[in-house]
Chain A
Amino acid sequence: MHRKPPILRFIERYFFLLLIISIGALAVMMAMTVANVFMRYVFNAPIIGAYDLVEICMTISVYLALPAVILEGQPVVIDLIDGFLSQSTLASLKKTANAAAAIILGFLLWSMIKPAHDAYLYGDVKPEFGFPVWIVWAVALFGVFNSLVSALAAFVWTHATGHAANEEDSLV
């Protein structure tokens, strides 16, 4: 059992906080959709901006959950060769996967900056209640940045992160 360094424990707590916000966003998403249906059928007055709010909440919910998902090693991996490899080779492959994730997330972060800046520059707003789109982009960038930190942490502390294989390895 590897003892977790204090900085990794801090990062985990920080990502847990983001996860709680993400859970809150999902709850709001559900409540807003139910309330919209209720208002539409009972009072014939659907909530203006309900669709926009659901989209915003979904962005918050997915992007803020991503760092915890990556740090806990939850993304789906094809582990067919595990039984044929030594522990050291397996550890090297895990490290390589974390490095690849960090590089790709770095590229994603860089590629999202321009469209986010454009949304700010041209004053894009959500169609129903005029919420500035650049703020939603900022949330997405924040999430990708934290995911990059998460991938780097998983790369540096490969042995101390990740989870044991279980039923969550399959999504269906």
Chain B
Amino acid sequence: MSASVLGLLAVLSLFVILFLRIPVWIALLICGIAGNTILSSVDAAASVAGTGAFDTVSNYGLSVIPLFILMGEVATNSRLSAELFQAARVILSGLPGGLAVATIGASGAFGAVCGSSVATAATMTRISLPEMRKAGYDDGLAGASVAAGGSLGILIPPSIILVIYSAIAEQPLPQLFAAALVPGIVLMLLYIVVALVIARRSAEKAPVDPPASLRARLFALKDSWQFLILFTVSIGGIYAGVFSPNEAAAIGAFGAIVLGALARRLTWKRLYDAFKASIITSGVLFTIIIGATIFANFIVQTRLPDLLLSGAQAVHLAPWAVMLMIIAIYVVMGCFLEGIGMVLITVPVFLPVIMSLGYDPVWFSIIVVIVVELGLIHPPVGMNLFIIQAQAPEIRIRQLYVAILPFLLAPFGLIALLMLFPKIALWLPSVLY
């Protein structure tokens, strides 16, 4: 059996093991260790596993993960999102669908200090969903706005997925963060367009809020100063080259604690909860990264990506057709795989193929994040939809499935735009770096 075929078998076995409810990181380790043992020896497999498990966790570059998670958890626990939503609500009052637009806008803004879609969706469900329902919004539209807005959390920097992609694809994180900003804003605008069109076409689904005065709108703007400070200092600091991503993450987390304490919204209990949640999430993430590192080491040795590339060349597939196939695979996998696990399993296999076809790895990172986002909101799974339903059980999941469908046009539209105009992602990195 050739090494490439062994690699292919390992990938297939991985999926079987995953479906049998073996935790993702253990499944990756089983396949990586078994594969390396067959390919080389038990000693070689042990050497890769032992040093890989240690080096991954003591890698300074990855300290950005727990620190950005901490920043997001502190921002969540200090209820920063509530002020963002109230500010957006007042500013957009009088606009048909204004509350849905405010939800999407506040989610995008909160995503700029949070980095997690699930946390953004969970937070906005608590804050904006009751307000929309109180205002007479259709349950489906209200839930879908929260789900779609929440998914912006992983595209708009800081994005935990991009941090992990940066580590496994060996791409500079500041460039990835720069590449994600414009597509993140474009996606937010596309979601807003969808919400506005729905509100215009079915006015009964989105009653209009009474318009606030200009003075009230200007006054509302000042409520978002804490968010502006956090985003400008942390992410702006990376773009300006003042801080490394690790330093920006630490300063962002520290800043969120100081701002939360000054505003008396962050109690000791909430601070402890934020730290605990950060530690647990980081622990889970690092286990998967350890597993993926060892699995990727095996996949690289099997030269499986070369087999896939030669297969594509043998059937004379154009690069864009291969790219579309990869996107289709991601969309299907997004139906049942957890986002980060999906990225860690697939990027070592797909990235060499993508690069051989002449695509930019920084551009590809944005495509990967968008398809992961899609997985969070498209039926039949859609983690964001489940989170909303778990917190508002009176809204039926079927209602959410139907209501989210028009919003799916936005990420698909963005993928099409990125395929046609890669500069949407690559322009800002080229200007900054």
Query: What residues of chain A have their CB less than 8 Å away from a CB belonging to chain B?
Result: 19, 22-23, 26-27, 29-31, 33-34, 36-37, 51, 54-56, 58-59, 61-63, 65-66, 68-69, 72, 74-82, 90, 93-94, 96-97, 100-101, 104, 107-108, 110-116, 136-137, 140, 144, 166-172
Give CA–CA (A37, B248) in the complex, Å: 10
Give residues of chain B (204-257) contacting chain A, Cβ–Cβ below 8 Å.
243, 246-247, 249-251, 253-254
Give CA–CA (A65, B66) in the complex, Å: 12
Query: Would A78 and B336 count as touching, CB distance under 8 A?
Result: yes
The 5 closest A-B pairs by CB, nearest first: A33-B250, A111-B46, A111-B50, A75-B23, A65-B283
User: Nearest Cβ distance between residue A168 and chain B, in whole angstroms?
Assistant: 7
For the A-B complex with A33-B249, A170-B376, A172-B116 known, give 20 more contacts whose Cβ atoms are closer than 8 Å: A29-B250, A30-B70, A30-B250, A33-B246, A34-B250, A56-B58, A58-B59, A59-B54, A61-B282, A65-B279, A74-B284, A77-B23, A78-B24, A78-B338, A97-B21, A110-B46, A112-B53, A112-B54, A169-B338, A172-B117
Consensus secondary structure, chain B interface? helix
Query: Would A114 and B275 count as touching, CB distance under 8 A?
Result: no
Give CA–CA (A69, B281) in the complex, Å: 9
Give residues of chain B (252-295) contacting chain A, Cβ–Cβ below 8 Å.
253-254, 272, 275-288
Consensus secondary structure, chain A interface? helix
Can you spell out 9 A-B residue pairs with CB atoms less than 8 angstroms apart? A58-B60, A58-B66, A59-B57, A59-B58, A65-B282, A96-B20, A137-B54, A167-B119, A168-B281
Chain B residues near A140: list those with CB within 8 A. Answer: 53-54, 57-58
Q: Count contacts on B: residues with CB < 8 A to the other chain.
A: 73
User: Nearest Cβ distance between residue A44 and chain B, in whole angstroms?
Assistant: 15
Chain A residues near B161: list those with CB within 8 A. Answer: 172
Is B75 on the interface with A (CB-CB < 8 A)? Answer: no
Query: Would B53 and A77 count as touching, CB distance under 8 A?
Result: no
Give residues of chain B (375-418) contacting chain A, Cβ–Cβ below 8 Å.
376, 381, 383, 387, 390
Query: Would B19 and A108 count as touching, CB distance under 8 A?
Result: no
Query: Would B63 and A55 count as touching, CB distance under 8 A?
Result: yes
Partner of A75 from B26, B122, B278 at Cβ < 8 Å: B26
Query: Would A136 and B70 count as touching, CB distance under 8 A?
Result: no
Query: Would B390 and A167 count as touching, CB distance under 8 A?
Result: yes
Is B146 on the interface with A (CB-CB < 8 A)? Answer: no
Partner of A171 from B47, B254, B338 at Cβ < 8 Å: B338
Chain B residues near A96: list those with CB within 8 A. Answer: 20-22
Give CA–CA (A116, B55) in the complex, Å: 12
Partner of A166 from B24, B51, B249, B390 at Cβ < 8 Å: B390
